[in-house]
Structures are given as structure tokens and as C-alpha cells.
Structure 1
Amino acid sequence: MLELPYLEIFAENFDKKFRNKILQKVEISSKKSINVSIAGLKESLEGQELKIVFRRGLTLCLQFKNHTVLEMHVTSRAELLVLEGEEASPGLLDLHFSGGQIISVRDPLKRSTFFLNPVQISSTDVLSKEMTVEYLKDVFLNNTRQIRDVLLDQNVIGGLDEAYADEILWYAEISPFSIAGSIPLEEVKVLRRTMKYVLLDAIKQIKKVNFGAVHFVKPDLLMIHHAEKKKSPTGQNIRVKAAAGTRIYYTDEQKLYV
């Protein structure tokens, strides 16, 4: 999925640009990409005023005046664009707003998905004020799962994907193979600070090159979770382990707690 820092910025930019505008037309090219019929989607959204755009976990959400929420799960390889009417060709999903601008999801593989009024997952967002050391301490207590798996569990911590889980664990110097319940309290405190630092710094760095932009260019921010990099910033070899359909990036300088 599209990573949290990008979702945060898209939510901020789209909210400024489209709040209080009317969604005049909805177009979607694949009925398999939505959880309702195309007719149901259009009936619920067309003619409605957009009230707010926000990030929830790893999704981008648009809430309308009739309280309907459209939740967008955009893959990392898809494009999320703002287009003018005359330059628009059909995307996977196109939202035509008053004023002539369109929010368009371009996904040739059609793996992005959209949910109308989805059932909300009850979890604590990684950047929320509720994500405290005490919360993590309770989550990790007697937890025998590997720390990376815990960080990626959206039912426990909302908003972390594989790339930023690897980045955070590297910065915190904790092996992704550590058992969550074996991590000392002092390291849990470091992990909590690192979560906030890595994500907020990524948002800051992206804004430097993309602030206010509607066509985003992804800066090269990832230090560890990067297929083309062989060394960490500290000069250590970046190791990659394939496991359960995922690729884990780490270095030997990360401490293992078991």
C-alpha cells in the first residue's frame, strides 16, 4: 500500500483543495475494485459535498456531508493525481468535483481497492497520542511474536507498512526477528521515539520537494528497505531475508532479543 508519509500529505493537500466541493461524477473502470455495485457507489456519492479528507491507517478516506465515507487502498505502484477535466483520460477511479478538477487513481494492475462505508478496524494509530510507551508495553507483554510482525499488525498498530517497519527497527537498533515480549523497557521507549521521528521526518522531507504538488515525485528516503542499496548509512551490509511472501531488510548491528 501507499506508505503513511505520502498518505498524510495527500490527505492534507486534497482536504485543502477539495473540501466543501461537490462530487459531480464518479467513474470506475473495474467493478471488482469496489465493495458495492457501481450503481450503489454513484448513488451514494454523486451530488454530495466533501467535508473532510483524512488518513486512517494505510488508507485515504473521503467523508461526505451525508456521512458516507469512501476509503481508498492505493497500492505503492499506483499514481494518485489531481487532473483538469480537459487533460483527463479514464483511470481506475476518477472523482469529478465542481470546478473541473478530478482526483484520479491510475493503477494499470488494478490492485488498488475502494470501500464504501467500511467496517472500521479498532486499532491505535502509530502517530496518535494514544501510541504511548505504556500502550506498547501492554502490547508486548508476554507477546511471543516477532517484533516486525507486531508492528505490521493493523489490528494493533495502524499505519505501518513493511518499508517503514524495517526503517524504524534499523534506526532503533532492534532486530526484526526479536521477540516482542523480550524487548527491555528502555528499548521500548527508544522504539516509540523512533516511530515518531522516522515518520514525521519522512513527511518533512517529502514536503520539501513536493509541498503543494499534485503530481508527486517520491524522494529517495529509505535507508535500509531498498532493493538497490547494499550498505547502511553506517557502512554495514544490508541483509535481505525472504519470509512468508515478504522481504525483510536489516543489518547485523541490530540487536536480537529472544
Structure 2
Amino acid sequence: MPELPEVETVKRTLEQLVTGKTIEEVVVSWPRMVKRPDDAGAFADMLKGETFQSIGRRGKFLLFHLDTWTLVSHLRMEGRYGLFQTDEEVDKHTHVRFRFKDGEELRYRDVRKFGTMHLFERGEELQNLPLSHLGVEPFTDAFTPVHLREKLLRTTRFIKSALLDQTVLAGLGNIYVDEALFLAGIHPERKANTITEEEAVKLHGAIYKTLKEAVEQGGSSIKSYVNGQGEMGMFQQSLFVYGKTGQTCKKCGTEVERSVVGGRGTHTCPVCQPS
């Protein structure tokens, strides 16, 4: 599933591709993706004549700001956007098409059909689900070591499970939680409420550093992720532990281990992250 760096990269490329374009028609071939309104025909009608003013992001969600509406889109496991000529062949996994007046169209492709789209009047999107429950953004002033520790002290879950909780911190997923915990030297099965002030400072720095570098490199192309222009991310070349099972740790040379924590595949160096 694309995480904050991947979604931020998609957002930045879509800003270049569709800002200023006016929708002439919307074609929805898989109505279940449209969650609000609960009628795909109404969704399409509401977007006719609207112009993309800007693209935003909240956690793992894309926010398409139009004249009247904000379209909130979640890519889920394998969703992706791309800009095409209207007369180009349509892939069978393309489920939503935003046709523009200039002869191009933005297509949403999703092999698993798990992606979601919600339409809100502009300004109302942050007060309603699915965005209203999200925690702070890692790149904002609200994300501090003190805030992070306060959130973690409230739960007895494993710290990895707590960090994956989008109400604790928006945008983190399996890849970057594993990486940040490694850099902070914290075992993923530590109870979240045992985090010390010093560890919270290290973890805060590790989260920020990992996400910042991942954004700068266009995210991590694990499995099928590409950005809005079809380009792969490169951060996977900088990963320390995620997907490195059986390989030697870059810091100490110990073999990286894989386990399951909270139902998620987890990668750990047993020396750098003592239990």
C-alpha cells in the first residue's frame, strides 16, 4: 500500500499534470469505488464542468481541490493515476476516467478495486470521515517528540502497531515504521507505553528523517507503485531492514530477521534493536 512518501510523490506529479484542467465528463465503470455520494451517476454529474484548482494530501489520502468540491481519494493497495489521450486504449483495470476539454483524461487504475473516492463541498472534507479521525502530519509543527510520546503512552499495544494506527500519526505504513524503528534502535514488540523521553526524541527524528529522504527519492517502488507519470521511486535502494530478511544489517552485520507483529510482516535487526 502506498504510504506518505509515495502519496506525496503522486500528489506532486498530479499537480503538474492536471491543475487547471476542466472536467467535461466522468466515466465510472466500478461504482463501488465511489463512497460519497453513494451514487456513481450523481458523483459524475457533480464533477462536470469543475476545474482542478490544486492537489493536496492528508496522510495517505489524495485531495483534489476543484471549484466547488474536494475529491478525497485513497489508493489502497494498488491504485494509481495517469494522464492519457482520450483516444488511447483503456486498460481493463481502469475504473474511473476524468475526461478533460483539452482531449486528455485522468484515469484511475486499480487491479484489486480497493480504492475509494469521497466527494465533499470544499472546506468540509477535514471535518468528515475518512479524514476527520487522522492523527497529526509528520511534516507539521504539531509533530513533536512530546506529542509522539503522549500518544504512545496512552496504549499498551506493541509500538509498531501503535505507529501503524493512523489516529496516532497520519501516513506511516509498514515500510517506514520498520525503517524508523530500526534507526531509533527500538524493537517493534516494545510496549508503546514504555517509551522514554530520550527514545521518543530518537524515534521522532528517525520518523522525520526516513520520510523526508523517502519523499526526496520519490518513495519506494515495492511491488507495483509508480508515480503519476509512471516513474518508479528509488528509496527502496536505501532501506535498512524492510524486505531484507536473511541479509546482513548495514550497521552491524547481523542477519536481518522477519517476524509477524500485529498481523504485519516485520523486519528487525536483533542486535541494533534488542528486545
Question: 1:253: which partner in 2?
Answer: 271
**1:95/1:156 Cα in 2 relative to 1: closer, same or farther (>3 Å)?**
same
Match of 1:226 among 218, 232, 243: 243
Assess if the C-alpha contact under 8 Å between 1:26 and 1:96 holds in 2: yes
Structure 1 pair 14–28 and aligned structure 2 pair: CA distance change class (3 A): same
Which letter maps to 2:240?
M
Native 8 Å contact 1:28 1:38 kept in 2: yes
> Offset at 1:75?
3.0
Instruction: Say whether the 8 Å CA contact 1:34–1:113 is kept in structure 2.
Output: yes
Q: Is the 8 A contact 1:177 1:256 kept in 2?
A: no
Contact (CA 8 Å) 2:23, 2:99: kept in 1 or not? yes
Match 1:46 to one of 45, 48, 72: 48
CA contact (8 A) 2:99 2:106 kept: yes
Amino acid at match of 1:200: K
TM-score (norm 1): 0.88
- Structure 1 runs of 4+ with >4 Å offset: none
Deviation at 1:223, TM superposition (A): 3.0
Whole-Å Cα distance in 1 between the matches of residues 197 and 25 of structure 2? 52
SS of residue in 2 equivalent to 1:190:
helix
TM-score by length of 2: 0.83
The count of residues paired between Structure 1 and Structure 2 equals 253
After TM superposition, list the pairs within 5 Å mapping 1:86-165 onto structure 2. Answer: 86-90=87-91, 91-117=94-120, 119=129, 120-122=131-133, 123-165=135-177
Deviations 1:121-153 (Å, cap 9, x if unpaired)? 242112222111121122123532211111111
- Please identify, of 223-232 and 69-78, the stretch whose mean Cα deviation from structure 2 is larger: 223-232
Which amino acid in the other structure matches residue 132 of structure 2?
I
Please report how far the alpha carbon of residue 256 of structure 1 lies from its aligned counterpart in structure 2 after TM superposition. 5.0
Letter paired with 2:259: K
Higher mean C-alpha displacement, 5-14 vs 16-25: 16-25
Give the structure 2 partner of residue 22 of structure 1. Answer: 22
**Distance of aligned partners of 1:80 and 1:226 in 2 relative to their CA distance in 1, 3 Å threshold:** farther
Identity level (%): 22
Residues 236 and 96 from structure 1, CA distance in 2 versus in 1: closer, same or farther, beyond 3 angstroms? farther
Tell me, which stretches of 5 or more residues in structure 2 are unaligned? Answer: 121-127, 222-226
- Number of the residue aligned with 1:169: 181
Q: Distance in 1 between matches of 2:101 and 2:272?
A: 52
- Which residue is equivalent to 1:187? 199
- Give the 3-state SS of the residue equivalent to 2:258 in structure 1: strand
Residue 48 of structure 1: SS of its match in structure 2?
coil
- Structure 1 residues 200, 26: closer, same or farther in 2, change over 3 A? same
Assess if the C-alpha contact under 8 Å between 1:172 and 1:191 holds in 2: yes
Mapped partners of 1:87, 1:174: distance in 2: 50
Amino acid at match of 1:102: E
1:253 counterpart letter in structure 2? V
Are 2:12 and 1:12 equivalent residues in the alignment? yes
Change (3 A) 1:86 1:110: same
Please list the CA deviations of residues 159-184 of structure 1 after superposition, one character each: whole Å capped at 9, or x if unmatched: 11111111111111111111122122
- Asked if structure 1 preserves the Cα contact closer than 8 Å seen for 2:244 and 2:256, the reply is no
